[in-house]
Amino acid sequence: MLNFDEERFLRIQTGAAELADRFDAVVGECLEKGAENIYFLGTGGAAILMQPALELLQRESRFPAFGGMTAELSISGSVNLGPRSIVVMPSLSGTTKESVALLEQLKARGAMTITLVGHAETPLGKGADHVFLNFAEDDTSCESFYLQSLYIALAVMKHRGECPGHADIVTQLKRLPGLLLDVKKAFEPKADAFARVLAGSDYHIMTGAGNVWPEAHYYGMCILEEMQWIRTRPVHASHFFHGTLELVEKGVSVILFKGEDQFRPLADRVEAFVPSYTDRFTILDTRDFPLPGLSDTVRAMVSPIVLATVLERASAHLEVMRNHPLTTRRYYKRVAY
């Protein structure tokens, strides 16, 4: 595979997968201390990666689960955010300015804080009540953060008696690192063609529904815009028909991500509409990838993780194709803002 280190990938994703038992213990401890709600926070892309876990809890658990912008919460606070809140904050660097500022406020309020970081000797790596360290870099962090946050949501449900199949689900999830490597290998022959679609337009409409919508949002904003300077319009598939459809015409690139949860019909609706109005329509569907040993339920849960691992392969080809390394920035962490 192009510019890919299999051993490094497996080491990082296995590191995330093996955190399951500790997440279970920490969440149980927080609940025993009287936790009454949970916040999945973060800044930028890391916050987006928390959304599938947050929405899983909001749909399937009666335990109150909230999201939000760290920068806004630092200013306004929330009547729901206090000493009986579990707060989960991811930051690969461990130094994200907005998250560091909010962590200091959370500690003053007595909230139960959990940070997910890639580096220990950092403010977020040292300042939380419970720090989960799993080294990763930009090309491997998505899968790691998606999985860690999913473990947290599942642990909440388990301790509340809302996830009777928890042990089997976790057993299946621990197989993910090897399965994801197989997915990468299967997609590699198609990665160049997908990258050519991305490189072939300076504007893409990117859409999806359910737990893969955050990946459409993340990939458009954090990879194509930040790392490749390609303009995108991420839009949820349900919102697609309330404005964005009027921008679809011949020559406009529309990219649809399809997962396997109950919201797939919303993506089907986009798929039925778009080909009649543009000649540039691309679909990336997690159903195209075998994941032996995973139940339909778990396949649905991990759809955003599968998309993230596939899109990394497309990105690897894209940066070479455009002679634009993914590490190149004009402003991000380069100028004052």
* 176-321 and 6-173 share a CATH fold: yes
The domain segmentation of the chain, as residue ranges, is: 6-173, 176-321
Q: Which residues contact 297 (CB under 8 A, 6 or more apart)?
A: 165, 169
Pairing relationship of beta strands 253-258 and 203-208 according to DSSP bridges: parallel
Which run of H or E residues covers position 236? strand 231-236
Q: Which residues contact 178 (CB under 8 A, 6 or more apart)?
A: 10
Whether this prediction's pTM lies above 0.95 is answered by yes
Determine the Cα–Cα distance for residues 194 and 291; give it in Å rounded to an integer.
21
Query: Are the C-beta atoms of residues 139 and 5 closer than 8 Å to each other?
Result: no
Q: Which fold has domain 6-173?
A: Rossmann fold (3.40.50)
Determine the Cα–Cα distance for residues 112 and 232; give it in Å rounded to an integer.
37
Query: Are the C-beta atoms of residues 244 and 233 closer than 8 Å to each other?
Result: yes
Query: Are the C-beta atoms of residues 318 and 197 closer than 8 Å to each other?
Result: no
User: Strands across the sheet with 130-133, in order?
Assistant: 65-66, 37-40, 85-91, 112-117, 130-133
Q: Which residues contact 227 (CB under 8 A, 6 or more apart)?
A: 138, 315, 319, 326, 327, 328, 329
User: Of the CATH numbers 3.40.50.2300, 3.40.50.10490, 3.90.550.40, 3.40.1360.10, which one belongs to the domain with range 176-321?
Assistant: 3.40.50.10490
Determine the Cα–Cα distance for residues 88 and 114; give it in Å rounded to an integer.
5
pLDDT for 337? 87
pLDDT tens, per residue, the chain with 337 residues: 999 999 999 999 999 999 999 999 999 999 999 999 999 999 999 999 999 999 999 999 999 999 999 999 999 999 999 999 999 999 999 999 999 999 999 999 999 999 999 999 999 999 999 999 999 999 999 999 999 999 999 999 999 999 999 999 999 999 999 999 999 999 999 999 999 999 999 999 999 999 999 999 999 999 999 999 999 999 999 999 999 999 999 999 999 999 999 999 999 999 999 999 999 999 999 999 999 999 999 999 999 999 999 999 999 999 999 999 999 999 998 999 8
Both tokens assigned to 127:
């300042």
Other CB atoms within a 10 A radius of the CB of residue 296 amount to 9
Query: Are the C-beta atoms of residues 141 and 157 closer than 8 Å to each other?
Result: no
131 φ, ψ (degrees, to nearest 5): -110, 125
